[in-house]
A and B are shown apart, each in its own frame.
Chain A
Amino acid sequence: MDFKSFVFYFFSTILVLASLRVITARNPVHAVLFLVLAFVSGGGIWLLLDAEFLAMTLILVYVGAVMVLFLFVVMMLDINLDRLREGFWSYLPLGATVGALMALEMGVILGGSYLNLFESSVPSAASESNVKAIGRLIYTDYVYPFELASVILLVGIVAAIALTGRKRKPTKAIDPARQVLVKASDRLRIISMPAEKKE
């Protein structure tokens, strides 16, 4: 085993173990941290394939932004773990049996040939700069899916606003825009009264 395969198996092992811990960890904060570990190992594997731009994006965007946000939300939420795990043990035997059966079937189908498959070489991406290659493809061959992805994001925005941004009648919140537009004449009425003589 040369050094490259060693590094690959090293990262893959960490990736699989970390992913496993994401779904088995009792504490949701730990689960999120394991997910961060899984992403970093995934980034390592991408680096190995000379896809350094994707690796960096994965770490910057997912680990740096998305996961931090995630961690923040998880810490904010007051999750009652015991209630979440109610019924876990009663479902476990059936779930474990089905899961084990499926894993066994996949193992039988793929068998030993999977290891040989790895030797069928992985194409190297490093003939030119990653950023350049991705940039060119996104705006030429993949312009259609790229635009579709942006439409999906737009729908995400519309959906989020539709589901959360409705005005509730009974709240006493003040709209700053309306507040700024207020003129003195809206609030203040000046009445001219005849002067009265003090008795």
Chain B
Amino acid sequence: MTLAEMQFVLPDLRPAAAELFVLAMSCLILIVDLFVKDPRRTAVFALTILTLLGAAFVTWAGASGEVVYTFSNMYVHDFMADVLKLLLYLTVIVVLFYARAYLLARPLLGRSEFYTLTLFATLGMMVMISAGHFLTIYLGIELLSLSLYAMVALDRDSPTAAEAAMKYLVLGALASGLLLYGMSMVYGAVGSLEIAEVAERLQAGQANHTILVFGLVFLVAGIAFKLGVVPFHMWIPDVYHGAPTAVTLFLGTAPKLAAFAIVIRMLANGLIVLSHDWQMMLILLAVLSIGIGNIAAIAQHNMKRMLAYSAIAHMGFLLLALASGVVGGDARYALNAYSSAMFYIVVYVLSSAGTFGMILLLSRAGFEADNIDDYKGLNRRNPWFAAMLMMLMFSMAGIPFFVGFFAKFAVLQAVVAAGYLWLAIVAVLLSVVGAFYYLRIVKLMYFDAPADASPIHAPLEVKLLISLNGLAVAVLGLFPDILMWFCLLAVRLSLTILG
């Protein structure tokens, strides 16, 4: 074939406009940063926020209910991707505002790299959310993880941060290896890595089932590592605890949205034919996570560690919903189950952003409010923020009528509909155990004398955002239907098995 014979068709760039915009802006910010003399890095911060707002506009303008593929089917643009991306931008913006004061008080952390790495991590998550190919999923995960490893280690003078980064890097590399090995097995069995193509060929039954299941085990193990569910959870408490709180806030919120997206893309869209196999694995992981997460959280005296174990338990709940989509080859309940999983993850991100934001709010230069004793008597120091944190804790514990209750309720409903009554009972019992440590924080805030009576200083916009975040948990608890409707629509328009 000569050069003249080669046909080069330019891929349709419009569906991926938001990604291209974020990439271009990230590179621009890297250059602008060279000329910024201001040690507060206000220009870089403002540009980062503007980039995210711009990306939100691009995504909003390009949103439609249709499923569009581009880049030879490696990129998929659908309604679920739009919803998740908009939530992702919102989360990252909120995270950056919460983190701002904390970063300013710590010069080593508050360099422009924090902002550029955040943008690159966001780009990685966008790629994961819109992945139409196993290769894109892997590259998105790597882009996200690489940025996160560096962000955890940014505070070079802290030995705990260095240890956390090291553990995260080594275990993350291991997880990537598992994931890649699983993907290579899927490729060996099916002969394609394109998610839609894999699903089609599996439907037609042209694949070696043994090799496929063998690869599936590694795929699920890799995902479990990234989600941080038992028995692949060992890195979560150390990384959450060791990382600077601003990074923990980022690490514990936005990536969960992307992780949900890749599970849906890989398992529910690509490998739905094998649902019987992976659902069993997910149930096992879910029960272990809810159990160990909730019980181990009770023993923690560090707020970040406690929230890390709570994250493990919450991810278990997510898997529970994902595991009850298909019953005996019948995908009737899939819409309900997957949309409740999406609802759950959105609510979790909302509550955990608020809780970590509260830790950042109470921290100041040279002081980390990450011990649970630091919350003693918060009500007497500042009754408004105590009330906000109380609502967030109630929502996380799943107490009616906060939005966390409806999230748990929707998941349990899906689980019962799928016929796993025992599973729902176990999950409820273990959640009751979990409620203890959330309520302990509330007890410390309201019934104990403050150990440190210093007033709380924060910029107005942070106070406003935290208040909005806390109130959102309560208001969405009164009207959960709106969010649920969006999740239902997103899943219905994007899931291929629903036709």
Decide if A152 touches B127 in the complex (CB within 8 Å).
no
A151 and B120 in contact, given A144-B75, A166-B156 (Cβ under 8 angstroms): yes
Decide if B113 touches A143 in the complex (CB within 8 Å).
no
Complex Cα spacing A111 to B140, Å: 34
Instruction: Select A149's contact among B117, B139, B147, beta carbons within 8 Å.
Output: B139
A148 and B139 in contact, given A117-B208, A162-B113 (Cβ under 8 angstroms): yes
| Chain B proximity of A108: nearest CB distance (Å) | 11
Binds A, one of B210-218, B282-290, B445-453: B210-218
Instruction: Mark B1-19 against chain A: 1 for CB-CB distance below 8 A, else 0.
Output: 1000010110100001000
Decide if B113 touches A140 in the complex (CB within 8 Å).
no
Instruction: Select A163's contact among B1, B75, B133, B150, beta carbons within 8 Å.
Output: B150
The total number of A-B Cβ pairs within 8 Å is 84
Instruction: Select A158's contact among B6, B30, B214, beta carbons within 8 Å.
Output: B30
Per the 8 Å Cβ criterion, residues 139-185 of A in contact with B are 139-145, 148-149, 151-152, 154-156, 158-159, 161-163, 166
A106 and B214 in contact, given A152-B143, A166-B156 (Cβ under 8 angstroms): yes
Decide if B75 touches A110 in the complex (CB within 8 Å).
no
Find chain B residues with CB under 8 A from A196 CB.
none
Find chain B residues with CB under 8 A from A113 CB.
210
Decide if A152 touches B142 in the complex (CB within 8 Å).
yes
Instruction: Mark B76-120 against chain A: 1 for CB-CB distance below 8 A, else 0.
Output: 000000000000000000000000000000001001010011001
Instruction: Select A145's contact among B30, B117, B139, beta carbons within 8 Å.
Output: B139
Instruction: Select B210's contact among A109, A128, A156, A158, beta carbons within 8 Å.
Output: A109
* Contact of A136 with B by CB under 8 A: yes
Decide if B156 touches A148 in the complex (CB within 8 Å).
no
A148 and B136 in contact, given A155-B120, A162-B111 (Cβ under 8 angstroms): yes
Find chain B residues with CB under 8 A from A132 CB.
1
* Contact of B71 with A by CB under 8 A: yes
Decide if A144 touches B136 in the complex (CB within 8 Å).
yes
Find chain B residues with CB under 8 A from A163 CB.
150, 153-154, 156
Total interface residues on B, CB under 8 Å, equals 40
Complex Cα spacing A154 to B28, Å: 13
Most buried by B among A113, A142, A149, A159: A159
| Chain A proximity of B328: nearest CB distance (Å) | 23
Complex Cα spacing A142 to B127, Å: 14
* Contact of B149 with A by CB under 8 A: yes
Decide if A162 touches B154 in the complex (CB within 8 Å).
yes
Decide if A159 touches B139 in the complex (CB within 8 Å).
no
Per the 8 Å Cβ criterion, residues 68-108 of A in contact with B are 106
* Contact of B123 with A by CB under 8 A: yes
Chain A residue nearest in CB terms to B189: A117
A159 and B147 in contact, given A109-B214, A110-B214 (Cβ under 8 angstroms): yes
Complex Cα spacing A158 to B127, Å: 19
Decide if B150 touches A159 in the complex (CB within 8 Å).
yes
* Contact of B72 with A by CB under 8 A: yes
Find chain A residues with CB under 8 A from B136 CB.
144-145, 148
Complex Cα spacing A143 to B111, Å: 33
Most buried by A among B9, B72, B123, B140: B72
Find chain B residues with CB under 8 A from A143 CB.
11, 71
Complex Cα spacing A140 to B73, Å: 12
Complex Cα spacing A117 to B113, Å: 49
Complex Cα spacing A45 to B428, Å: 54
Complex Cα spacing A111 to B214, Å: 12
Decide if B72 touches A148 in the complex (CB within 8 Å).
no
Decide if A145 touches B210 in the complex (CB within 8 Å).
no
Decide if A158 touches B72 in the complex (CB within 8 Å).
no
Find chain A residues with CB under 8 A from B9 CB.
140
Chain A residues at the B interface, C-beta cutoff of 8 Å: 106, 109-111, 113, 117, 128, 132, 136, 139-145, 148-149, 151-152, 154-156, 158-159, 161-163, 166
A-B contact pairs, 11 of them (CB 8 A): A106-B214, A143-B71, A144-B71, A144-B72, A144-B75, A144-B136, A145-B74, A145-B136, A148-B143, A154-B120, A158-B150
User: Assuming A109-B213, A163-B150, what are 20 further A-B pairs, CB within 8 angstroms?
Assistant: A110-B214, A111-B210, A117-B208, A136-B6, A142-B72, A143-B71, A144-B72, A145-B133, A145-B135, A148-B143, A151-B23, A154-B120, A155-B117, A155-B150, A158-B116, A158-B150, A159-B113, A159-B150, A161-B113, A162-B113
Query: 6 tightest CB-CB pairs across the interface, nearest first?
Result: A159-B150, A162-B113, A144-B71, A148-B139, A141-B72, A144-B74
